[in-house]
Amino acid sequence: MNVVFSVTYIPPTYIGGGQTYIYYLTKELYKLGVNIKVFTSKPSVTSSSEWDWSHARICGCKPILRVSNTPIMPTLFPKMVEDDAYDIVHTDVPQAYSCDVSALVSQLKRKPLIITYHCDLLPSLISKIYSIILSKYTLERADKIIATTRSYSKTSPLLSRFMKKVEVIPMGIDLERFSVRNRQKFSKDIKDRYDIGEDEYVLLFVGGLNNPHKYKRVDILINAFSGILEKRSDVRLIIVGEDELRRSYEDLCSTLGIKNKVIFTGYVSNEELPKYYCASDLFVLPSLTREEAFGIVLLEAAACGSIPICFDIPGPGEVCKDLGGFVAPIGDPVNELKKLILEILTYDLDELKNTCTERVKKYTWRNIASKTLEIYEKVMK
């Protein structure tokens, strides 16, 4: 079977949930016997228009401009039309242009179209206009739509109209990279590095500290943590991430008088990241809106033995519960998060951590690729 993917970005040009998805999914599909070619935007540092991953051919298309971080690639359409060596077209949403071109190509070439729906469009006038195109043509054209959770797809203003086409397949986790195998050693390394006592509990946040990721609501976590410190002093908070919002979060910690209890690590490499998960007892994802549709970080935390916590919103809430983590009501977010964390700290954390590390095992990329291959086989019949 030959499958062509059309996406806006791939690692290492840009690294996010969607890019992690495309890399690991194609890698595991290749192991299952699927031949992969990926059309994507060409990074300016790459001289050749084609280069290789070990498991897929990459065809780069030069953008002539970017509209709201979406690369406009005039050569994408002719290159996909010219290529006949594929049976299925697979693309993703919400990135515009590449998914719309994929829909047009699949129609012209009479090839099945699979769309992975990562999240809803951000609320804006442009997105409202584009959603008409997306719903009237692109999603309508799809043979199958992959959603990462049932709760998110059912509550999506756009995707809920196409539930007959929806197949739920979650994101995955690399259990070779994220595991409890070196938890004790990694935990000691981080605690020694930041002078954290062995008897102190560690809360962790991992994510972008920039304006596009303001929806992560680190401010809620910091305010909740301040309330936690009013009840107990044996807790520290580590915030992993770097960018323009870091200063405002540091200022908030200073205003609340908790600066000595909060550690801002700055940028952390992919190699170092598992150490921070292993050093933490609880991992908190404080997002409140639909911009957070799944939360791969919840899987990463659980795999490393950190108990995941988020708010009870479609997508992450479903994932967190399935992992054996905890969800907080969203009505009074700061107070509810504070109360939940204080309650969890009275439980047997070792037992909870063991539950999480067991439940996350079904989220391997091999399982996700196998389920995706089943969808390919369905639409090929």
What whole-number distance in Å separates Cα of residue 280 and Cα of residue 288? 22
Of the candidates 202, 208, 206, the residue with the CA atom closest to the CA atom of residue 186: 202
pTM above 0.95, yes or no: no
The more confidently predicted of residues 85 and 348 is 348
- Structural domain boundaries in the chain: 2-172+364-380, 183-362
Question: Longest Cα pair distance anywhere in the chain, in angstroms?
Answer: 65
| Segments in the chain forming alpha helices (H) | 17-31, 76-82, 98-109, 125-133, 139-141, 150-155, 183-193, 218-231, 246-256, 273-279, 296-303, 316-323, 333-344, 349-359, 365-380
Q: What is the mean pLDDT of the chain?
A: 91
Read off the pLDDT of residues 1-29 as tens digits, 9 standing for 90 and up: 999 999 887 876 666 778 889 999 999 99
pLDDT of residue 46: 52
pLDDT of residue 12: 67
Residue 348 has pLDDT above 80, yes or no: yes
Integer CA distances (angstroms), 319 to 22, 34, 64, in order: 20, 28, 38
pLDDT of residue 48: 53
Domain 183-362 class, CATH top level: alpha beta
User: What mean pLDDT is predicted for residues 157-185?
Assistant: 94
Read off the pLDDT of residues 259-302 as tens digits, 9 standing for 90 and up: 999 999 999 998 999 999 999 999 999 999 999 999 999 999 99
The CATH fold of domain 2-172+364-380: Rossmann fold (3.40.50)
Instruction: List the structure tokens of 213.
Output: 């990721």
- List the beta bridge partners of residue 4: 37, 89
Same fold, 2-172+364-380 and 183-362: yes
Read off the pLDDT of residues 74-98 as tens digits, 9 standing for 90 and up: 888 888 898 888 999 999 988 778 8
